[in-house]
Structures are given as structure tokens and as C-alpha cells.
């Protein structure tokens, strides 16, 4: 019936095995269509589920921070990011905040000048600046030494 013959190197396969029935063809044609629909659906889902764009309109602020005791050898970068970020987050609950480009100057008289860029998701730079300027006089505890230091926002000025 055309099965491999040991006397030749040629192999023949019966025609009946190679034929696709009309049902098989319909199945493969529908699989191709289903695959296209699935790929289109996944692409649409990826676009819809993409995270919303975060605010990039940062405001740069200068803070004069005063601790209630000498900070000693704590990591001031961590401390200031924590104090400013936490205090801002308490003012705008339920949204994301961002901060970067931290610069700290020890003024030598137990005061620290801190420059930091800040943003609140969904707020303009001017709105964020207004919230931060409103922190003048607010005291909040820090992170280092189990929150042993309290920091007061002595003054705040922002570029927006």
C-alpha cells in the first residue's frame, strides 16, 4: 500500500492520510480567526489597563527645617525625605506623591536648609506649592532613632 519499502530510500504516504476533511479545514480556518480576535483583544486590554500618566509638573521648594534636638549622625537624606514626604502625604490623603533632587545644607545653628522637588498626583505645581507653603509652623516626627526627633517647618518657599 505504499508504506516504506526497505529496498528503496523513498517513502510514500497514502493519500488518504494527507487529505484534510472539510470539517478539519473549517476548524483550522476558525482557529486562525479566533487567534486574530484573541490577539486584538489582548492588545486592547493592554491599552486600557495601562497606568495613567503621573504628574511631571514638579515644584522645587526650599525648606528651613529645625529639629527639637541635635540630629547627630543620622542619615539626613532619609530623614528629610521621610519628614517632608510624610507631612505632604498627610495633607493629600488618597493620592500618590513624588519627591526627588534632595539637597541638604547644615546651617551650623541646629537648622537645615533642604531643597527638594515635589509633586502630588493630580495637582498642578502651583497647587502642590500652595500645600507645601501651608506647612510653615507644622511639626512632625522623623524616621531615625525610632522617630526620636521632631522637625518643624520653620519656613517654606517654592518656585511655582
Q: What angle do CA 147, 149, 153 make, to 5 degrees?
A: 115
Strands 112-120 and 139-141: unpaired
The pLDDT tens digits for 96-110 are: 999 999 999 999 999
The pLDDT tens digits for 126-140 are: 999 999 999 999 999
What are the sequence ranges of the domains in the chain?
A: 1-50, 59-158
Residue 29 confidence (pLDDT): 56
Q: What angle do CA 74, 79, 80 make, to 5 degrees?
A: 130
| Higher-confidence position of 149 and 8 | 149
The pLDDT tens digits for 142-156 are: 998 777 899 999 999
Residue 136 confidence (pLDDT): 98
How many other C-beta atoms lie within 10 A of the C-beta of residue 60?
17
> What's the mean pLDDT when you consider all of the chain?
81
Q: How far is CA 142 from the centre of its chain?
A: 24
CATH code, residues 59-158: 3.30.70
- Alpha helices for the chain (secondary structure H): 15-18, 22-48, 76-91, 125-133, 144-147
The pLDDT tens digits for 31-43 are: 556 666 556 556 5
**Cα 101 to Cα 105: distance, rounded to the nearest angstrom:** 13
Amino acid at each position: 500500500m505504499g508504506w516504506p519499502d526497505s529496498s528503496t530510500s523513498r517513502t510514500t504516504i497514502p493519500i488518504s492520510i494527507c487529505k484534510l476533511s472539510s470539517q478539519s479545514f473549517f476548524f483550522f480556518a476558525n482557529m486562525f480567526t479566533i487567534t486574530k480576535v484573541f490577539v486584538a483583544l489582548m492588545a486592547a486590554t493592554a491599552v486600557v489597563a495601562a497606568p495613567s500618566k503621573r504628574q511631571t509638573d514638579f515644584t522645587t521648594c526650599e525648606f528651613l527645617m529645625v529639629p527639637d534636638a541635635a540630629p547627630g549622625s543620622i542619615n539626613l537624606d532619609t530623614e528629610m525625605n521621610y519628614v517632608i514626604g510624610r507631612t505632604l502625604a498627610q495633607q493629600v490623603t488618597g493620592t500618590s506623591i513624588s519627591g526627588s533632587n534632595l539637597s541638604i545644607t547644615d546651617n551650623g545653628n541646629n537648622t537645615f536648609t533642604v531643597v527638594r522637588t515635589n509633586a502630588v498626583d493630580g495637582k498642578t505645581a502651583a497647587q502642590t506649592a500652595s500645600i507645601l507653603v501651608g506647612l510653615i509652623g507644622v511639626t512632625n516626627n522623623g524616621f531615625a532613632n525610632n522617630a526620636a526627633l521632631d522637625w518643624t517647618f520653620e519656613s517654606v518657599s517654592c518656585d511655582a
